[in-house]
A and B are shown apart, each in its own frame.
Chain A
Amino acid sequence: MEKDHLITMANQIGSFFKSYPDQEYAANEIASHMKRFWAPKMRNMIKDIVATSDADSLDDIVRIAIKKYL
């Protein structure tokens, strides 16, 4: 799976939840969505991305969600 595609998917999920006033709740929901619907390999890839400079392509809340809750 291409990195860019995964980043796009992650940011799309983020764009839905980030409208919630409680950003902690939003971050948790982003990670929860990935856990429920993404295959482990995809989750591992996105976690790896967060650890590299590609993380800049992720929205802040998505990055937080992955680091903190995934």
Chain B
Amino acid sequence: MDDTKDFGTPKKNNTKTINLTVDGFPVSVPEGTSIMRAASEAGIGVPKLCATDSVDPFGSCRLCLVEIEGKRGYPASCTTPVAEGIQVKTQTPKLEELRRGVMELYISDHPLDCLTCATNGDCELQDMAGAVGLRDVRYGYEGENHLDSKKDESNPYFSFDPSKCIVCSRCVRACEEVQGTFALTIDGRGFESKVSAGNKDFIDSECVSCGACVQACPTATLIEKSIIDNGVPDRSVTTTCAYCGVGCSFNAEIQGDKVVRMTPNKDGGANHGHSCVKGRFAWGYTTHKDRITSPMIRKSIKDPWQKVSWEEAISYAASEIKRIQSKHGGDSVGAISSSRCTNEEVYVVQKLVRAAFGNNNIDTCARVCHSPTGYGLKQTLGESAGTQTFDSVQKSDVIMIIGANPTDGHPVFASQMKRRLRDGAKLIIVDPREIDLVDNSVHIKADYHLKLKPGTNVATINALSHVVVTENLIQNDFIKERCDLESFEIWKEFVSLEKNSPEALEQETGISAKIVRDAARLFASENNGAIYYGLGVTEHSQGSTMVMGIANLAMATGNVGREGVGVNPLRGQNNVQGACDMGSFPHEFPGYRHVSDSTTRSSLENAWDVKLQGEPGLRIPNMLDEAISGKFKALYCEGEDIAQSDPNTQHVTHALESMECVIVQDLFLNETAMYAHVFLPGSSFLEKNGTFTNAERRISPVRKVMEPKNGYEDWEITVMLSNALGYPMKYKHASEIMDEVARLTPTFKGVSYKKLDELGSIQWPCNDESPKGTPTMHIDEFVRGKGKFFVTEYVPTSEKVNGKFPLIMTTGRILSQYNVGAQTRRTSNVKWHDEDLVEIHPHDAEERGIIENDWVGITSRSGETVLRAKITEKVQPGVVYTTFHHPESGANVITTDNTDWATNCPEFKVTAVQLTKVSELSTWQNQYKDFSKKQINLVKKDDIKVD
């Protein structure tokens, strides 16, 4: 289906079909379909202005009038549903006359600047004037009009020009129905009616800049500034967003080789035509002046960088790896890949490590985010992945969100979730903070907010499970048929213990026992209960235990294996799922097969023509520890910035300084690159072919929109390095890498670029049994056979508050910025968040004499940093919160090296700290500023530039 075609009203999915004729042509459509859509599906366009298929019909513009044989009047085709046997006429002399009259009125209060208008040739008002044959406007501009209305240019990405507004309400309805923010309204009545962002400029309003209003606008009223600056695009390439784990499909709209706009793809399986401020607008980093496009090398991190040819850079990197392995042993080198890379890129990096380095020292940034998900879900359900599609939420009756903030971290999915909540689903939130969904104005309000103390997740899930078991709310039939009964009985006995009751744990968790009991009863009593969780679950010393606790609860309540239910990890970055799938962990080959599995190893050895190691390699923290011990000497780091993203920054930078060769492949001279000896410039997502796999296991194509500004796609650089190391890789195109993945990985057996082109995206497993993919997992049977329950003893973290460090600091992210901020900091998104702040409860602030915007010193057992204070009741007393999007904030200077027991995922969410009012930056921050400045000065200015 052509995703750019607008059918006027949304698709209906009723099974009953209605037959009618439109202009004499027979048409069959699902019951409930509008006449407008029925006509459009038959290829007959009915003129329209206020209708668009992303929002419900409104019937205000009166342009889409039709005649129905035997019926009086001229009904609006957008709001009139089809009926059996009706005969519709869309073109009659009377209809033409009526439409011309309507258009004449619209045009009489619209600037006639079409030739110089930014949307000339891409304007529905202009198109409709043509479609209805408007030739004259009898009404002059002498009367009252809106032509002098003031533009609102406050948003960095789009302009609002009320003089061009026809008050069709498409923007208002998009803001409500698609985004769910309700920031826009129609203010005033009659002639005074106008679109208003709450009587404020857009930038100061509740608008979240998702772009839904701009997308819906049929005129140039709401328009991208990039289109005003550049004009309309001349071609478009469908690709996948490189930000969060939602994995939105976008059309990159281009003039020549210049992207002028990114618009959400209506056929996108994850986003269905919606977007957020990052994917829609924040792509300018791809051509930011900070980008480095030439390879560079240096002997020491104190030396200036030397710009060299690709041949020289690769040859130098390879010779260093060989030298170090020869001197310090084969295990003295390793690599870290990133979830920001494509599947194909991370696949070749892990292959390089296993085949060319000859060890299993490969890890990925999932180590510091969702590694507990991989472990916990594999143990309990049998597969290291979420169980559902995003669309599944539309069938949920009760939604439990644990340790996630979807409106900020996964905004497009949050909009879909909010739609379901507005339609009546119940909501339970388990979070130390009052996230937006707790009380999102009158539209969304959580039924229960379990405002737990950071670090007590496992106690909370045990208390919820205790209620479910002891009040006999479990689904016995499901358990008997689907689960391992021995493990269930052990778990049942464990959670039934009095120590796991809500009352016994009340003081530990900080949640009233009654709320826990009520929430558990609600979750267990509704038909379809779905759990969504994020890093607030995984980034704890008991992250893996908590994931298993969630799976236990889902199985006990029978909430796995159909739509509307499930265990749903909200993955942080675009390709966390894919990076894990592709074998980026030191203990697993692609497809989550352990390196000790001799059958898999033998199959890979035959295909790769090399002997592989059967023992696990080093994880990121192990590599860093070994570097400090002098045993790990060289690192190839692609797309990841461990010096900013990983905990205990001082430890990380000490480890990097201890290595003899650090090779960084990235778009920018990131924090890690400042400790590097070889810099290999990377390509942006617009400059390469590949695939990303989102949180719902959806493999989506990343398509090359323009040639790489650095000369090569990232997988090509890894291939060059492998070849230089003496292990030949012969891929000519990214598709050949995916073909190899499919050949060697059972869950990807049916995946190919050809099929991706045909289907748009594919949710794995995709194989002979499921050739078009698997939207819902564990139907009828768990991947591991019987679902296994695990005992989840609550073990309090060793990171304790005391008199010296009396507060708990937890971390998170905000809507406008993305992770370490390397991309979003280089866009106009800084307008919303140009520095990280520390949130503190008014009570704690008052005790310390801290007022809004004060400089506050944050001290932990690991270090100290200084941020400005934001006083808010969103955090509870005793808890402070910050983001980590700006390197100079040093959020990870404070975090400790405590980790999850099973996976070594850092305990980012719990750090004991003290806050004091200060007047200057911390020692670390001053040192960082000096070091950073020196490092930037070691790059010749000419080398940091992109045209």
Footprint of B on A, CB under 8 Å?
1-2, 5, 9, 12-13, 15-16, 18-21, 33, 35-42
A-B contact pairs, 27 of them (CB 8 A): A1-B626, A1-B629, A2-B629, A9-B901, A9-B904, A12-B541, A12-B901, A15-B793, A15-B901, A16-B544, A16-B795, A16-B901, A19-B793, A21-B490, A36-B594, A36-B596, A37-B587, A37-B902, A37-B903, A39-B331, A39-B360, A39-B586, A39-B616, A39-B617, A40-B615, A40-B616, A42-B622
The reply to whether the CB of B618 lies closer than 8 angstroms to some CB of chain A is yes
Q: Tell me the smallest distance from the CB of A12 to a CB of chain B, in Å.
A: 4
Closest-by-CB residue of B relative to A15 is: B795
Say yes or no: B494 contacts A39, CB within 8 Å.
no
Write out the residue numbers on chain A whose beta carbons fall within 8 Å of the beta carbon of B494: 19
Closest-by-CB residue of A relative to B545 is: A16
Write out the residue numbers on chain B whose beta carbons fall within 8 Å of the beta carbon of A33: 902
Write out the residue numbers on chain B whose beta carbons fall within 8 Å of the beta carbon of A1: 622, 625-626, 629
Closest-by-CB residue of A relative to B795 is: A15
Write out the residue numbers on chain A whose beta carbons fall within 8 Å of the beta carbon of B129: none
Contact with B616, one of A2, A9, A36 (Cβ below 8 angstroms): A36
Q: What separation, in Å, do the CA atoms of A15 and B823 have in the docked complex? A: 40
Closest-by-CB residue of A relative to B587 is: A37
The reply to whether the CB of B791 lies closer than 8 angstroms to some CB of chain A is yes
Q: Tell me the smallest distance from the CB of B619 to a CB of chain A, in Å.
A: 8
- Interface bracket on B: 20 to 34
Q: A1-B625, A15-B793 are in contact. Are A39 and B618 (CB under 8 A)?
A: yes
Write out the residue numbers on chain B whose beta carbons fall within 8 Å of the beta carbon of A35: 596
Write out the residue numbers on chain B whose beta carbons fall within 8 Å of the beta carbon of A42: 622
- Counting from the closest, the 7 A-B pairs by CB-CB distance are A12-B901, A19-B793, A1-B625, A19-B791, A15-B795, A40-B615, A39-B618
Say yes or no: A20 contacts B490, CB within 8 Å.
yes
Footprint of A on B, CB under 8 Å?
331, 360, 490, 494, 541, 544-545, 586-587, 594, 596, 615-618, 622, 625-626, 629, 791, 793, 795, 899, 901-904
Q: Tell me the smallest distance from the CB of A48 to a CB of chain B, in Å.
A: 15
Say yes or no: A38 contacts B616, CB within 8 Å.
yes
Closest-by-CB residue of B relative to A16 is: B901
Closest-by-CB residue of A relative to B621 is: A5
Write out the residue numbers on chain A whose beta carbons fall within 8 Å of the beta carbon of B904: 9
Q: Tell me the smallest distance from the CB of A56 to a CB of chain B, in Å.
A: 18
Q: What separation, in Å, do the CA atoms of A63 and B535 have in the docked complex? A: 32
Q: What separation, in Å, do the CA atoms of A13 and B615 have in the docked complex? A: 19
Write out the residue numbers on chain A whose beta carbons fall within 8 Å of the beta carbon of B490: 20-21
Closest-by-CB residue of A relative to B375 is: A37
Q: What separation, in Å, do the CA atoms of A18 and B490 have in the docked complex? A: 13
Say yes or no: B625 contacts A5, CB within 8 Å.
yes
Say yes or no: A13 contacts B625, CB within 8 Å.
no
Write out the residue numbers on chain A whose beta carbons fall within 8 Å of the beta carbon of B903: 37
Q: What separation, in Å, do the CA atoms of A58 and B488 have in the docked complex? A: 30
Closest-by-CB residue of A relative to B903 is: A37
Q: Which of A2, A5, A19, A20 has the most CB of B within 10 A?
A: A19
Q: A39-B586, A42-B622 are in contact. Are A20 and B791 (CB under 8 A)?
A: yes
**New contact pairs (17) apart from A12-B541, A12-B901, A40-B616, CB-CB < 8 Å:** A1-B626, A5-B625, A9-B899, A13-B901, A16-B544, A16-B793, A16-B795, A18-B793, A19-B791, A20-B490, A21-B490, A35-B596, A37-B587, A37-B616, A38-B616, A39-B360, A39-B616
Q: What separation, in Å, do the CA atoms of A20 and B790 have in the docked complex? A: 9
Write out the residue numbers on chain A whose beta carbons fall within 8 Å of the beta carbon of B902: 13, 16, 33, 37
Write out the residue numbers on chain B whose beta carbons fall within 8 Å of the beta carbon of A40: 615-616
Q: What separation, in Å, do the CA atoms of A20 and B629 have in the docked complex? A: 36
Contact with A39, one of B622, B791, B795, B899 (Cβ below 8 angstroms): B622
Write out the residue numbers on chain A whose beta carbons fall within 8 Å of the beta carbon of B594: 36
Q: What separation, in Å, do the CA atoms of A13 and B375 have in the docked complex? A: 13
Write out the residue numbers on chain B whose beta carbons fall within 8 Å of the beta carbon of A12: 541, 901
Q: A1-B625, A16-B545, A16-B902 are in contact. Are A36 and B587 (CB under 8 A)?
A: yes
Closest-by-CB residue of B relative to A18 is: B793
Write out the residue numbers on chain A whose beta carbons fall within 8 Å of the beta carbon of B617: 39
Closest-by-CB residue of A relative to B790 is: A16
Q: What separation, in Å, do the CA atoms of A41 and B613 have in the docked complex? A: 14
Say yes or no: B622 contacts A2, CB within 8 Å.
no
Write out the residue numbers on chain B whose beta carbons fall within 8 Å of the beta carbon of A5: 625
Write out the residue numbers on chain B whose beta carbons fall within 8 Å of the beta carbon of A18: 793
Q: Tell me the smallest distance from the CB of A27 to a CB of chain B, in Å.
A: 15
Write out the residue numbers on chain B whose beta carbons fall within 8 Å of the beta carbon of A21: 490
Q: Tell me the smallest distance from the CB of B485 to a CB of chain A, in Å.
A: 16
Q: What separation, in Å, do the CA atoms of A2 and B627 have in the docked complex? A: 11
Q: What separation, in Å, do the CA atoms of A41 and B618 have in the docked complex? A: 9
Write out the residue numbers on chain B whose beta carbons fall within 8 Å of the beta carbon of A20: 490, 791
Write out the residue numbers on chain B whose beta carbons fall within 8 Å of the beta carbon of A13: 901-902
Write out the residue numbers on chain A whose beta carbons fall within 8 Å of the beta carbon of B616: 36-40
Q: A12-B541, A16-B545, A16-B901 are in contact. Are A39 and B615 (CB under 8 A)?
A: yes
Q: What separation, in Å, do the CA atoms of A27 and B267 have in the docked complex? A: 52
Closest-by-CB residue of B relative to A11 is: B901
Write out the residue numbers on chain A whose beta carbons fall within 8 Å of the beta carbon of B587: 36-37
Q: What separation, in Å, do the CA atoms of A21 and B586 have in the docked complex? A: 31
Closest-by-CB residue of A relative to B542 is: A16
Q: What separation, in Å, do the CA atoms of A20 and B489 have in the docked complex? A: 12
